[in-house]
Chain A
Amino acid sequence: MTVMNMVEAIRGALEHELERDERVILLGQDIGRNGGVFRATEGLQERFGEDRVVDMPLAEGVIVGSAVGLAAAGLVPVPELQFLGFGSQAFHQIEGQVARMRFRSQGRYGMPMVIRAPFGGNVRTPEMHSDAHEAKYANSPGLKVVMPASAYDARGLLTEAIRDPDPVLFCEPLRGYRLIKDEVPEEDYTVPFGQARLARDGSDVALIAWSAAVAVATKAAELAAAEGISCAVLDLRTLVPCDTDRVAELVARTGRAVVVHEAPLTAGFGAEVVATIQEEAFWSLEAPIRRVTAYDTPYPIASIEEYYIPSAERILRSIRQVAGEG
């Protein structure tokens, strides 16, 4: 075991898969000589060459669109979008092409690719760099959406994603690249999709989150514990597939739930989680479910972003509310 941050864990997974499977090819802006703007691919071009770690022109549409052709040629492309917010410039390729090619071709052309994309707030980036767009992709059948919250999961889920025959959008929290550190094994391992992780156990309120919001929810759970409210924190890990069984099971136990995400409220993936609880655990509920999310406004200028995305204090207020109701 070695303690490492998320960016190191991601680099480790990429390096290991490039070594293991010669079909794996990385492509993206600034990923080669520069090693990626966050150093996620540092040293990989030197080691594997310019044909396997490919610097691409500044064009998200063809970074993803050419990956469709690379996959049809039998390769396993790992395109990087420098930021998920710019994924909109490739959305037609992701939703309309990558996600549907297996279906359209009746199984002839699977798309075993992983689209890596950093996102998320509180790192003082310019406009469009922080936006949490995961719900748009979760609503794109054929695609899987993976959102790790720890270094261990980042490595294990990325390895799983590269080996999975289906296309995966792999969202990496910018805030976690350096701040989130935990123990990662030396040996090869994978984390299966669709298995939520109980990040913290508790009996009164279930906090459900993913990606960087898991750490914030955990902080809120600590604050709540000081007030005598016991919170469990469930990290979904993957939105598609979603571990609805684990969500229902936990809420059946606590009877109260708060869902937390960095994306705006309306039509965010939190609405999906709440609807699922309503369908699967309605008779266990003792209070209305609350959502703590960004507001239904565009991502604000960086100097005031901490007022926009959920803070531990905002989550704590909702915890108090649901704990006191019913």
Chain B
Amino acid sequence: MSATEERTDGPVPDSVLAPDGTLREGREPAMASEDVLAAFRLMLLTRVFDERAFSLQRQGRLGTFSTVTGQEASVVGSAFALDPARDWVVPQYRELPAMLRQGFTLERFLLYYVGNPVGNLMEEGVNLLPFQISLATQVPHAVGLGWGLRHRGSDGCVITYFGDGASSEGDVHEAMNLAGLRRAPVIFFLQNNGYAISTPVAKQTAAQSFALRAAGYGFPGELVDGNDLLAVYEVTAGAVARARAGDGPTLIESRTYRLGPHNTADDPTRYVDPEELEARRALDPLNRVRAYLHAKDLLDDEREAALRDELAEEVAAAVNAAESYAAAHPRQIFEHVYARPPDRVTRQQREATADRGSGP
């Protein structure tokens, strides 16, 4: 077996749509057609954004960031199963569309990557933690958050995203164990995208599937085709219903594929077989939804072209807004470190301000 070849010796990922966009035998869509169209819009927005942002990064206008490309069905399908008014998202860093659906904006995302920390501010009422660079450390936060929501009488639940690489961190084990014990309303959404930078899944785990781990923590584990919007939605909606009913957590392994680099600083041609990439491109999750919507006559090439123009304008407006925002000021080094800062920090801030003059 090559490093990233689909495992054939383990459980088979659940799928609703075949790669050609037709419903698999005996399956019904769990999403209303207009929701599928709305989900496609968010998937396409993500793709359009990734393309534009990647180009901005190459022009030196954005810092290093990670694209979602290839994982749109996985992120959007799971996010659509949530109620943003009461449910929470605890992201890693490759889940922009899930953040947007919770009420975060492209402008803020871009603002952070053009270099202003204010971009990381989630407005009050947006049920979202900041994205997390330190892999898997957010998974215990999600458990505490779900537990805390329940403690305070809310029926909200929490989805936390992490990857096949992060799954090797100890925090994931500790968090899942606690979630099982407390029946915390948490969905552990593991996006298995084939690689942790260059490390293939086969070098990350000897197990046939990450979903199998759930048994060891006393809650269900599901394996789903992460390139299938309808399947991802359906399995996540089931996990949300369980969490809301007080039946505790679910682990979902969403088996998808990272079509782009790990981030803008990575060159996957060093480690990804071009033939493998070609084969995976054919399974682009957008194609599957597109074909489904074409068959329903909710989309055609003309309407998609118009939608693409609309989304490109949306992205351009966000880029423009982020780039016209005031540049980060050195005083922001000292802001929001403490609610009640030690005198020493206050003095450092004063001295830094007095010393600065024209440069650092």
Q: Note all chain B residues with C-beta closer than 8 A to A194.
A: 342-343
In the complex the two chains form, is B121's CB within 8 Å of A59's CB?
no
Q: Is B121 a contact partner of A61 (Cβ separation < 8 A)?
A: no
Identify B141's interface contact among A65, A102, A242, CB under 8 A: A65
A70-B148, A92-B171, A101-B130 given. 8 additional CB < 8 A pairs? A70-B145, A73-B149, A96-B134, A105-B121, A106-B117, A106-B336, A108-B122, A166-B338
Closest B residue by C-beta to A55? B181
With A65-B141, A105-B120, A240-B342 known to touch, is A75 a contact of B177 (CB < 8 Å)? no
Binary flags per residue of A85-115, CB closer than 8 Å to B gives 1, else 0: 0000000110011000111111111100000
A102 touches B336 (CB 8 A): yes
- Which chain B positions have C-beta within 8 A of A25? 151
Known contacts A93-B140, A106-B120; is A242 also within 8 Å of B129 by CB? no
Classify chain B: how many residues form its interface, as a range.
35 or more
Considering residues B141, B147, B335, which has the most beta carbons from chain A within 10 angstroms of its beta carbon?
Answer: B141
Any chain B CB within 8 A of the CB of A62? yes
| Interchain Cβ contacts under 8 Å between A and B, 14 examples | A51-B151, A59-B174, A65-B139, A69-B144, A70-B151, A72-B145, A73-B145, A75-B148, A106-B121, A142-B338, A164-B339, A166-B338, A193-B340, A193-B342
Among A71, A103, A110, chain B packs the most CB atoms within 10 A around the CB of A103
Known contacts A61-B170, A97-B134, A104-B130, A67 near B144 by CB under 8 Å: yes
Other-chain contact of A66, B147, B340, B342 (Cβ < 8 Å): B147
Contacts of B343 in A (CB 8 A): 194, 241, 244-245
> Of residues 124 to 144 in B, which have CB atoms within 8 Å of A's CB atoms?
124, 129-130, 134, 137, 139-144
Residue interface bits A135-166, CB-to-B below 8 A is 1, else 0: 00000011010000000000000000000111
Scan residues 309-355 of chain B and give those whose CB is less than 8 A from a CB of chain A. Answer: 335-340, 342-345
Taking a contact as CB atoms under 8 Å apart, the answer to whether A70 and B144 are in contact is yes
Which of A72, A104, A105, A242 is in CB contact (< 8 Å) with B144?
A: A72
Tell yes or no: A185 within 8 A of B by CB.
Answer: no
Closest A residue to B176 by CB, please name it.
Answer: A62
Residue of A nearest to B123 (CB): A108
Whether B178 sits at the interface, judged by CB under 8 Å, is yes
Q: Collect the chain A residues with CB atoms within 8 Å of residue B296's CB.
A: none
Q: Which residues of B contact A101 (CB under 8 A)?
A: 130
B141 touches A72 (CB 8 A): yes
Q: Chain B interface mostly helix, strand, loop or mixed?
A: helix
B252 at the interface (CB under 8 A from A): no
A68 near B340 with CB under 8 A, answer no
Residue in A93, A108, A194 with the greatest tally of chain B CB atoms within 10 Å: A108
Q: A68-B140, A69-B140, A110-B339 given as contacts; is B129 within 8 A of A105 (CB)? A: yes
Judge whether A191 is part of the interface by a CB distance below 8 angstroms. no
Q: Is A298 an interface residue (CB 8 A)?
A: no
Q: With A and B bound together, what is the CA distance between A103 and B118 in angstroms? A: 10
In the complex, B73 has a CB within 8 A of chain A: no
Q: In the complex, A194 Cα to B129 Cα: how many Å?
A: 31
Answer yes or no: B42 CB below 8 A from chain A CBs.
Answer: no
Find out whether the CB atom of A72 lies under 8 angstroms from the CB atom of B148. Answer: yes
Q: How many angstroms between the C-alpha atoms of A57 and B345 in the bound complex?
A: 37
**A74 — nearest CB in chain B belongs to which residue?**
B152
* Closest-CB distance, A235 to chain B (whole angstroms): 18
Among B117, B130, B336, the most chain A Cβ lie within 10 Å of the Cβ of B336
Within 8 Å of chain A (Cβ to Cβ): is B163?
no
Which 9 A-B residue pairs are closest in the complex by CB-CB distance?
Answer: A69-B144, A73-B148, A65-B140, A241-B342, A66-B144, A69-B145, A62-B174, A165-B339, A106-B121
CA distance A56 to B121 in the complex (A): 32
Pairwise interchain contact B171-A69, C-beta atoms closer than 8 A:
no
**Chain A residues, CB < 8 A from B151:** 25, 51, 70, 73, 75
Is B232 part of the binding interface, using a Cβ–Cβ cutoff of 8 Å? no
